[in-house]
Structure 1
Amino acid sequence: MHRKFLAAALALGVAHSAMAQGAPPTELRPDQVRFRALYKELVETNTSLSVGSCTEAAAKMGAHLTAAGFPDSDITYFSVPDHPKEGGVVAILHGTSKTAKPMLLLGHLDVVEAKRADWTRDPFTFIEENGYFYGRGTSDMKVIDATWVDMLVRFKESKYVPKRTIKLALTCGEETLEAFNGASYLATHKRDLIDAEFALNEGGGGRADKDGAVQSQGVQVGEKVVQQFRMETTNAGGHSSVPIKDNAIYQLAQGLLKVRDYDFPLQLNDVTRAFFAKAGAGRTDEMGKAMVAISKDPNDKAAEAVLNKDRGFHSMLRTTCVATLLDGGHAENALPQRAGANINCRMFPGSSMEDTKAKLEAAIGDPGVKLIPLQPIRGKSNPAPLDPKVIGPMEKVAAKYYPGAPVIPTMSTGASDALYLIPVGIPTYGVPGFYSGPEGSGAHGLNEHSSVKSVYLGRDYLTDLVKTLADEG
């Protein structure tokens, strides 16, 4: 009785809040009211590297699991002494099967930095306005984190017992290279704790048209690997009053232009071939025809030329490298003795640091321009398999929630914590479910947001998906 009263009171408060912010009141189910409150709590817990705390967020999420009935033995908090604010939590909902391996729900708690002066609204205040939730993390990726926690809470309270054990790992350090990375730590030091047949993670999602109709859903099956290089030139220098053409900055600039103009060879794998074939089949324009053509023949230069006009497709078809930082010289009245740049490479799955470096050096064609690999040195990463036991349920449940929208395998040109799980034998898939319109979500940028409709529909989709995957285990 008390819970029903509280849910009704919360629902009334949500409606009043929505009206106050200019959005129409929405009739929410009691379970949606509880989810909204948890989502709000997580977004308003600052987890940026500079002043936030993932450890605090993990404790708050763990408290919800404890209140739902998870025993202490099934909840593990972790951190390291030199990074006390970058901790995380692992929770386990035990299944009945003795033979089916567990599944893992993965999520990172940390968010990209956000300055209040740059945003229209306070980035760490959860705001519902005109059909959107605003706040840092509303899209990347606290909406999924909150969904995972809320899901396990409801499973425990309803006494649902899956066939396949379900594990949850909420970690820190995905957004910032210099941070302690919890997924890497678990994969390296606590492999048994997160052991799973496969993992569900961020990286997938749908696309809607300007009217909000979902056109497709994507499942991320693989991603590129990040590798940084230091490009550097050196020179004896001298007085600026007697300049010469042999100048470290000029030499570096010429090397950078060579990197700019170099296209790595086109590559396809099972995932990208399926993406171009399936996504292209739904289009009748020149781009769609080129997508289908390249999936059949990667040597089709005419199709490649069309696809290269789209920066996303261009990147999906090859390794890419780009200059991101620049430095040089030591005094305003002296010829530079040293100049350097950071080269950020996104290596196509299966590519190595050594091969990428060799191709760049050949393109630059100047032994005086040094390329120095920076730590961490990334190994080869292969996509997760297009396993019908995982992809099939995603398609089946999507047909219920997003009828007519195909589920398309994709390879991310960015990176996620799947980078650490795949090498230790846990295939990782970026889930479909949530979606955004043509304007995007503002993830990593200003005024990050998620569609209210997408949030509630995506949450229901993922709940059904996880139950399907767990019960078919």
Structure 2
Amino acid sequence: MIARTFAAVLLATAAFSPASAQTLRPDQTAFRALYQELVETNTTLSVGSCTDAAAKMGARLKAAGFTDSEITYFLTSEHPKDGGLVAVLKGTDARIKPMLLLAHIDVVEAKREDWTRDPFKLIEENGFFYARGAADDKSMAAIWTDAMVRFRQEGYKPKRTIKLALTCGEETSYAFNGAAWLAQNRPELIAAEFALNEGGGGELDPSGKKMSLAMQVGEKAVQNYRIEATNPGGHSSRPVPDNAIYELADALRAVRMYEFPAKFTDTTRAYFSQTAKNVGGQMGGAITALLANPTDTAANKIVSTDPTYHSTLRTTCVATLLDGGHANNALPQRAGANINCRIFPGETNETTRAALVTAINDPKINLTMTPPIRPIAKPPALDAKIVGPATAVAEKHFPGVPILPLMSTGATDGIFLEAIGIPVYGVPGIFGESDFNGIHGLNERMRVSSLYEGRDYLFDLVKVYASK
């Protein structure tokens, strides 16, 4: 999913000029058709097909001049609808390692009866595109595919080889994941010095003013745990102290009360350092104190009143599903819950489990990792060779809008690439609404002007990276 940018606290703004009412350039008209085709191809897990969507994008690449040898489709016999593609535009300098453009083409489920509009028809209304995937992540998938089409049509000869990977499965942790499959089975296809992905972006205020830009440099890892209490049970007319539901409730309270320690990466230290200056006051002072001493409990308490700051500082674990008992008139034999953890970079699944076990402190409670077991998060470097061009191109397209590095408190497919040594950066450029664009919820939307402006920015940015 596209991570929410954390820089809404910034005070700087920039002028906003609506693009929805403008006459489209010919290249924008062609892009809109590509975007519409991708969005209207249903890629939900239940009834959709990423394989079909990848084939349609591959056909557009071929129409632009890409050869069969430059496009690789991939899928498995067990998951015939979860296919994807990798396309390659070869560079002129073999000494320079390739770059990779990554986007997922699967989307979260959407029920027509719940939506105001058909979620699988692209509808342009009042300056917004409405549809499932209009933002997450078909906006980026369409922009990357369109950029490759334009590069070939223009006869552009990059110094650095540019690769494109469109993958399935990012939105469903228990399903086939194309990025993970490529990393494990065809790493040579996606081998790159770095990858550009979702996770960054920009934030607008409710009036449409550009508040900030953000570049994701690192993310948390997601891991689910099963917490369970078991008991022989018995007749409910003869209750005993050993009750699986009560024991689970006590364990869940322990999880609720446990706070993982505050930590910083280079990215989050840079983010909080700038944020402290922008917010000022008591919060700014508390952030500054916490940067100097992460064990400062008073400062931690103040900073953690902001849910975004709280999550950015540490590993978080929260109960998300609950089950228990088997009959109204029987003592429960089993009670369990799912604990969803977002693990801070550098920490592991096992150390997180160990911390929860210690917090629960009850040998009768069983705590196990729930498959899939995902890689640990490895934060990429806050590299000036990556951040510098993004900032320079942003100043051209969005003058005066500040840009900050951030660590996503969510997770993307980038974690699978980082596990094989490819640093992944969530690029800025596509501005989102303050309410998160309805992503994963009802009536998902994308501001028309944001899409076209982001497309122009990212096209220029890829060219800068590919030319050096």
Q: TM-score range by the shorter chain?
A: over 0.9
Could you tell me how far 1:440 is from its partner in structure 2?
A: 2.1
| Structure 2: distance between partners of 1:223 and 1:24 | 33
Could you tell me how far 1:358 is from its partner in structure 2?
A: 1.4
Bigger shift: residues 362-371 or 190-199: 362-371
2:180 aligns to what? 184
Query: Which of residues 426, 433, 443 in structure 2 aligns to 1:437?
Result: 433
Could you tell me how far 1:83 is from its partner in structure 2?
A: 0.4
| Structure 2: distance between partners of 1:398 and 1:62 | 30
2:339 aligns to what? 343
| Structure 2: distance between partners of 1:291 and 1:36 | 43
Q: How large is the Cα RMSD of the aligned pairs?
A: 1.3
Q: In the alignment, is residue 162 of structure 1 matched against residue 164 of structure 2? A: no
Query: Which of residues 318, 321, 324 in structure 2 aligns to 1:322?
Result: 318
1:61 aligns to what? 57
1:283 aligns to what? 279
1:151 aligns to what? 147
1:86 aligns to what? 82
Say which SS state the counterpart of residue 54 (structure 2) adopts: helix
1:131 aligns to what? 127
2:290 aligns to what? 294
2:462 aligns to what? 466
Q: Indicate the percent of aligned positions where both proteins have the same amino acid.
A: 59
| Structure 1: distance between partners of 2:286 and 2:76 | 50
Say which SS state the counterpart of residue 366 (structure 1) adopts: coil
Query: Which of residues 218, 221, 237 in structure 2 aligns to 1:222?
Result: 218
| Structure 1: distance between partners of 2:131 and 2:148 | 24
| Structure 1: distance between partners of 2:147 and 2:377 | 31
- Kindly indicate whether the alpha-carbon contact (under 8 Å) linking 1:110 and 1:174 is maintained by their aligned counterparts in 2: yes
2:11 aligns to what? none
Say which SS state the counterpart of residue 192 (structure 1) adopts: helix
Q: In the alignment, is residue 427 of structure 1 matched against residue 433 of structure 2? A: no
Q: In the alignment, is residue 398 of structure 1 matched against residue 394 of structure 2? A: yes
- Kindly indicate whether the alpha-carbon contact (under 8 Å) linking 1:131 and 1:453 is maintained by their aligned counterparts in 2: yes
Could you tell me how far 1:287 is from its partner in structure 2?
A: 2.8
Could you tell me how far 1:380 is from its partner in structure 2?
A: 2.8
1:407 aligns to what? 403
| Structure 2: distance between partners of 1:465 and 1:279 | 25
Could you tell me how far 1:309 is from its partner in structure 2?
A: 0.8
Query: Which of residues 374, 377, 380 in structure 2 aligns to 1:381?
Result: 377
1:116 aligns to what? 112
Gapped regions of structure 1 (runs ≥ 5): 1-22
Letter in 2 for 1:80: T
Could you tell me how far 1:227 is from its partner in structure 2?
A: 1.3
1:75 aligns to what? 71
Gapped regions of structure 2 (runs ≥ 5): 1-18
Letter in 1 for 2:325: G
| Structure 2: distance between partners of 1:429 and 1:200 | 5
- Kindly indicate whether the alpha-carbon contact (under 8 Å) linking 2:20 and 2:448 is maintained by their aligned counterparts in 1: no
| Structure 2: distance between partners of 1:344 and 1:396 | 38
| Structure 1: distance between partners of 2:181 and 2:142 | 22
Question: Relative contact order (alpha carbons < 8 A, sep ≥ 6): 1 or 2 greater?
Answer: 2
1:18 aligns to what? none
| Structure 2: distance between partners of 1:24 and 1:185 | 39
Could you tell me how far 1:419 is from its partner in structure 2?
A: 1.1
Letter in 2 for 1:206: G
Could you tell me how far 1:26 is from its partner in structure 2?
A: 2.9
Deviations 1:282-307 (A, max 9, x none): 22343334334433332333321122
| Structure 1: distance between partners of 2:32 and 2:271 | 34
Please report the TM-score for the alignment, with normalisation by the length of structure 1: 0.93
| Structure 2: distance between partners of 1:419 and 1:266 | 22
Bigger shift: residues 440-449 or 165-174: 440-449
Please report the TM-score for the alignment, with normalisation by the length of structure 2: 0.94
| Structure 1: distance between partners of 2:256 and 2:407 | 23
2:307 aligns to what? 311
| Structure 1: distance between partners of 2:437 and 2:401 | 20
| Structure 2: distance between partners of 1:354 and 1:256 | 19
| Structure 2: distance between partners of 1:201 and 1:292 | 31
How many residues are matched? 450
- Kindly indicate whether the alpha-carbon contact (under 8 Å) linking 2:41 and 2:120 is maintained by their aligned counterparts in 1: yes
2:446 aligns to what? 450
Could you tell me how far 1:340 is from its partner in structure 2?
A: 0.9
1:16 aligns to what? none
1:261 aligns to what? 257
| Structure 2: distance between partners of 1:220 and 1:290 | 24
Say which SS state the counterpart of residue 399 (structure 1) adopts: helix
